[in-house]
Structure 1
């Protein structure tokens, strides 16, 4: 009687020991929840507005087809085929790439710190929304209760509540200030919610994702219906999607479109690798990649319509208030009868008075009222959520209810993304067995959440917003680009395109087809041919984490621009134009000959064996 072969850890075939999703819906919703995050709400609409409205969709769609979907397919395919987290996947492909998996885990850890801090801010606003009137609707009284706070009158009630009553921000980053205890409590509550949702991995995440992934769409639909019925909504949508094709000549547009696709799909974090590792190897990950990417992009468009319908109403309301103020000034100055000047008549009346009494009109404190100027004041990032949109909600009937819905939607959006970030950390740690087997998974999950909470307390200082901006601007962008580049190199040149397109991969529905080499190979070869050749290699650890060289044999290395950034254990291997041939009889980490990297490609770096033919059965 024939027996199935034993699971091979190197191949990623873990038999029936690996947990699996209860159903396909849980997996798809988890990937969608991880991909669809706060950036879909507060960054994509801003980019559309900034870069020519509908014209921005041209580079966006091109980046989606040639960058987003191929890379997304790669992550789903390797996670599903090797059935490991990011560290295990890249170690199985080649020990030289194990640092790539470690880099993904480290990056997810750092991003989780400030991402959950934003959720703490959202929770603070959510709790304050259960008041009438809303606390940011008017300036507070001063200590003598004889007038309003002067700082608030100099800005606005919304800005004062955000910068002073919420963040209590210092003048600069050099002044750390004190802990904001109300935010620290909110941060602890956020990490407690995250822990309860991921305590048993996909068993609990799969249940919570039904609500956290679907609730934002319900709220967006409610806001869209309500927004389209408000005055000025059409003007906001026209302003958003009016195409300006000339702006496509600006290379910055194409760069931001590619960046938005990259971050919107949450590529190179390792979360999608972890999620797909719980799939059956026969799952059709190609269809999943296309479907999830399209849902993510359509969500961005859907959110843009909902957001700018509300912002169009806000801009129209501010524009009308500006006109009413100027009309009142003219009536008082020239003793016109009350209500004698309407908003429509104001431009003609002002033009007539300017022509007949220019000096008198010039001395009046009139403001320039242009609808486009108010529409231009929309913002991205936290400024959209905590300043612009909160001010728009104030002008809507039943403002507290709309505020509760809005911040509840942001919280569930961020919570779904946190599931993916934490899974990218915990799954590789479980695969590596960092704790003894007798220690339950719940303990490791709790330990990770506790470490994250303690590490994120620096953002609870009065200067925390400055530190968060530093993390947001410098932690992820460049590292993610490097990691994604190394992922392509690892799959195309280390794992091998012929191997990933083999009949066995076809049977397991993980073959990548011809799209990946068509999109990625020319980029790699062009970049590789331009980088200089370096004469020696760094004195890091050996390719498999063995002993290093003696001090006498170490040589300094001037690293290339991005060489070796993701291969922390393979100090001599990175996306540089040169590599070194290893002599297995030598212990030195520096290798003998300097050769072009493409001369090594046919020889292939050490990699894992293919899964057994019946492993997916």
Structure 2
């Protein structure tokens, strides 16, 4: 195309309805409600039921809500808006979105999808263990149907008979595959395959059951728990205790709260970008993001009441304080909670209902994690016309094989280790997603306007100041000195860097067409991120300007600080937890955990160093224009198109602009 295409101004609604769609009607959600059920189902999972209450108990009871809610509104919701909006606008997965920002940043999307895929390999084993317990509950050997069974006895059965840990070596290394768990894992992956193989319309209908029933059952368990004698003592332990000292004395509470939000809201795994890509145009991303995030947190909050109410009753029956009960992770869902239910009239049926509820919660989170990889693969040129069930069968088969490591008698140790190191991957991916949107989008335009020296000096100044502050905060032993030295060092570095940025900007300022220096500097600091906001708003709806500030100048810096904070956490022996997690032996546990993080980092780095590596993952061009339009998809520029080599292309703003291509196929914009 050599002619200049002049697009007349249009209303946001008209522009959204007239854009070329990558998805046909059969590949979109059947309704907004279906999207809500699928997205909330992806967000709500095991972590809401057993991890969130355990964290509340560990980190000061109600005091944990402070970092949790801050993480939700300052990190979770802005990132959720980012992922859903980008998926909805560009109608593709993470690789296509971030590769479209800059071809060297396709690795951000690859890392996020890999993170989700690594997570689902062990998440499927969690479902398999619950499935194993569910079927065991029908046997005579199951502990939950025995009178006066204790939580210790019940969870001991889980460890020895379900996971098979009784045959472990002394150093906790594996000795065998637990054959029943291999079978249950295969069954889980077969169910996941059926949920994702036939498109999102089928998936959406399935989530009416896999998410709808757990919502109903939550209120059933909640109503029963709060009506039991002694439940008020458990609820007091949940929200009546506010030990705010943990906020300063246990610094990892902040990183833990953010990690819980990442896990719980399902961000940085490519899920929400993939789900957003199946939304029709004009869906309000701000409203949708708040509905999903708040629904997820409400589910967690109510689950806490159900859990602690039941624990209060168990403490009453056993004559011990609630604080003496073991509720960490598996001790809760296979020990204390089922034991409480088993002592009710018809107790074993309550236990089975609990396990069935957990299976449903796990399944929709698992197939959502897989959907991220399926979307990226199915959108590529190579697999665009491949039936989705074939792609789903391949990924399910691969994930099943990889998950067999967790079917060994050391599966819980492997799972616990990988789960810890995945936290680093999530923080890294979250930081890179914000960095790509806030700093890399239209960086070529920024360099052309303001010069490479100023642009890259400003970037180095921002993140160098944070890096220096982190080094002082976490490197100085005296806590008071560390706080002050970190702030002073960071501010001084920032001031010097801003001066170094200001100097090369002066010739550009004198040569610019800006009406004032203030407009020039505002464009330098915020122009690209607001251009991105203006680009996507006709399709995804209004996004507040505050979101732009947070994505560029708050979130990447905060996530970098939290990453360093988590990395420098030490254990009781004074060793860094990274590389020594829980004292597990180096080989195979620590090695595998560290390799998980290194693998994700390498995927990103390879994309930066060798971008053609990910060119085959570029989304396929859109076939045809929308009905009634006389323009080609390339002229509409509604979605990023691959180069002819092919490579990724940076998306450009739409609207009343002169758009043309140079002879290399790159898009140029003339004001």
TM-score (norm 2): 0.66
Deviation at 1:113, TM superposition (A): 0.6
Query: For 2:549, which of 518, 527, 542 is the aligned residue?
Result: 518
What's 1:219 paired with?
Answer: 217
* CA deviation profile, 1:225-282 (whole Å, cap 9, x unmatched): 1112211111110121112334433333333222222221111100100000011231
What's 1:609 paired with?
Answer: 652
Deviation at 1:133, TM superposition (A): 7.8
Query: For 2:126, which of 102, 118, 121 is the aligned residue?
Result: 118
Q: Would you say the 8 A contact 1:52–1:241 is kept in 2?
A: no
* CA deviation profile, 1:283-308 (whole Å, cap 9, x unmatched): 11011111111111111110000111
Does structure 1 residue 464 correspond to structure 2 residue 407? Answer: no
Does structure 1 residue 89 correspond to structure 2 residue 109? Answer: no
What's 1:570 paired with?
Answer: 608
The 1:199–1:3 alpha-carbon spacing in structure 2 relative to 1, beyond 3 Å, is farther
Does structure 1 residue 162 correspond to structure 2 residue 108? Answer: no
What's 2:425 paired with?
Answer: 479
Deviation at 1:376, TM superposition (A): 3.5
What's 2:438 paired with?
Answer: 492
Deviation at 1:92, TM superposition (A): 1.5
What's 1:391 paired with?
Answer: 339
Query: What is the aligned-residue RMSD (CA, Å)?
Result: 3.2
What is the alpha-carbon distance in structure 1 between the residues aligned to residue 559 and residue 222 of structure 2? Answer: 45
What is the alpha-carbon distance in structure 1 between the residues aligned to residue 121 and residue 401 of structure 2? Answer: 9
Query: For 2:204, which of 203, 206, 226 is the aligned residue?
Result: 206
The answer to which structure has the higher helix fraction is 2
Deviation at 1:611, TM superposition (A): 5.8
Q: Would you say the 8 A contact 1:390–1:403 is kept in 2?
A: yes
Which aligned pairs between 1:366-405 and structure 2 lie closer than 5 A?
A: 371-372=320-321, 374-405=322-353
What's 2:76 paired with?
Answer: 68
Does structure 1 residue 249 correspond to structure 2 residue 292? Answer: no
Q: Would you say the 8 A contact 1:18–1:278 is kept in 2?
A: no
Q: Would you say the 8 A contact 2:431–2:557 is kept in 1?
A: no
What is the alpha-carbon distance in structure 1 between the residues aligned to residue 384 and residue 539 of structure 2? Answer: 33
Q: Would you say the 8 A contact 2:34–2:207 is kept in 1?
A: yes
What is the alpha-carbon distance in structure 1 between the residues aligned to residue 228 and residue 275 of structure 2? Answer: 41
The 1:247–1:156 alpha-carbon spacing in structure 2 relative to 1, beyond 3 Å, is closer
Q: Would you say the 8 A contact 1:486–1:566 is kept in 2?
A: no
Q: Would you say the 8 A contact 1:494–1:607 is kept in 2?
A: no
Higher-Rg member (1/2): 1
Q: Secondary structure at the match of 2:606?
A: coil
Q: Secondary structure at the match of 2:118?
A: helix
Q: Would you say the 8 A contact 1:21–1:203 is kept in 2?
A: yes
Does structure 1 residue 54 correspond to structure 2 residue 85? Answer: no
Which aligned pairs between 1:178-197 and structure 2 lie closer than 5 A?
A: 178-197=176-195
Q: Would you say the 8 A contact 1:311–1:378 is kept in 2?
A: no
What is the alpha-carbon distance in structure 2 between the residues aligned to residue 223 and residue 174 of structure 1? Answer: 36
What is the alpha-carbon distance in structure 2 between the residues aligned to residue 510 and residue 41 of structure 1? Answer: 33
What's 1:583 paired with?
Answer: none
What's 2:568 paired with?
Answer: none
Q: Secondary structure at the match of 1:501?
A: helix
Does structure 1 residue 501 correspond to structure 2 residue 499? Answer: no
What is the alpha-carbon distance in structure 2 between the residues aligned to residue 422 and residue 565 of structure 1? Answer: 18
Q: Would you say the 8 A contact 1:36–1:413 is kept in 2?
A: yes
Q: Would you say the 8 A contact 1:136–1:161 is kept in 2?
A: no
The 1:59–1:292 alpha-carbon spacing in structure 2 relative to 1, beyond 3 Å, is same
What is the alpha-carbon distance in structure 2 between the residues aligned to residue 245 and residue 527 of structure 1? Answer: 23
What is the alpha-carbon distance in structure 2 between the residues aligned to residue 237 and residue 204 of structure 1? Answer: 39
Deviation at 1:609, TM superposition (A): 2.8
Deviation at 1:63, TM superposition (A): 1.7
Q: Secondary structure at the match of 2:229?
A: coil
Deviation at 1:174, TM superposition (A): 6.0
Q: Would you say the 8 A contact 1:67–1:258 is kept in 2?
A: yes
What is the alpha-carbon distance in structure 2 between the residues aligned to residue 520 and residue 89 of structure 1? Answer: 16
Q: Report which stretch shifted further, 156-165 or 224-233.
A: 156-165
Q: Would you say the 8 A contact 1:77–1:511 is kept in 2?
A: no
What is the alpha-carbon distance in structure 1 between the residues aligned to residue 323 and residue 106 of structure 2? Answer: 48
Deviation at 1:512, TM superposition (A): 3.6
The 1:527–1:387 alpha-carbon spacing in structure 2 relative to 1, beyond 3 Å, is closer
What is the alpha-carbon distance in structure 2 between the residues aligned to residue 66 and residue 401 of structure 1? Answer: 42
Which aligned pairs between 1:535-546 and structure 2 lie closer than 5 A?
A: none
The 1:12–1:305 alpha-carbon spacing in structure 2 relative to 1, beyond 3 Å, is farther
Unaligned runs of 5+ in 2: 9-14, 442-527, 564-597, 612-647, 658-671
What is the alpha-carbon distance in structure 2 between the residues aligned to residue 572 and residue 519 of structure 1? Answer: 30
The 1:451–1:4 alpha-carbon spacing in structure 2 relative to 1, beyond 3 Å, is farther
Deviation at 1:58, TM superposition (A): 2.0
- How many residues of Structure 1 are paired with residues of Structure 2 in the alignment? 480
What's 2:290 paired with?
Answer: 290
Query: For 2:361, which of 396, 406, 413 is the aligned residue?
Result: 413
What is the alpha-carbon distance in structure 2 between the residues aligned to residue 222 and residue 405 of structure 1? Answer: 10
Q: Would you say the 8 A contact 2:214–2:360 is kept in 1?
A: yes
Q: Secondary structure at the match of 1:245?
A: coil
* CA deviation profile, 1:129-154 (whole Å, cap 9, x unmatched): 23568444559xxxxxxxxxxxx99x
What's 1:279 paired with?
Answer: 279
The 1:12–1:255 alpha-carbon spacing in structure 2 relative to 1, beyond 3 Å, is farther
Unaligned runs of 5+ in 1: 140-151, 320-370, 532-559, 574-604
Deviation at 1:59, TM superposition (A): 2.2
Q: Would you say the 8 A contact 1:379–1:388 is kept in 2?
A: yes
Q: Secondary structure at the match of 1:43?
A: helix
Q: Would you say the 8 A contact 2:23–2:278 is kept in 1?
A: no
Deviation at 1:38, TM superposition (A): 0.6
What is the alpha-carbon distance in structure 1 between the residues aligned to residue 78 and residue 6 of structure 2? Answer: 37
* CA deviation profile, 1:65-121 (whole Å, cap 9, x unmatched): 111111111011111111101111111221111111111221121111100000000
Deviation at 1:62, TM superposition (A): 1.7
What is the alpha-carbon distance in structure 1 between the residues aligned to residue 39 and residue 223 of structure 2? Answer: 27
Q: Secondary structure at the match of 1:302?
A: helix
Q: Would you say the 8 A contact 1:482–1:566 is kept in 2?
A: no
What's 2:521 paired with?
Answer: none
The 1:30–1:572 alpha-carbon spacing in structure 2 relative to 1, beyond 3 Å, is same
* CA deviation profile, 1:187-221 (whole Å, cap 9, x unmatched): 11111111111111202211100000111111111
What is the alpha-carbon distance in structure 1 between the residues aligned to residue 654 and residue 388 of structure 2? Answer: 27
Structure 1: 4+ residue segments shifted above 6 A? 2-5, 525-529, 562-565
Deviation at 1:390, TM superposition (A): 2.6
The 1:612–1:220 alpha-carbon spacing in structure 2 relative to 1, beyond 3 Å, is same
What is the alpha-carbon distance in structure 1 between the residues aligned to residue 302 and residue 344 of structure 2? Answer: 21
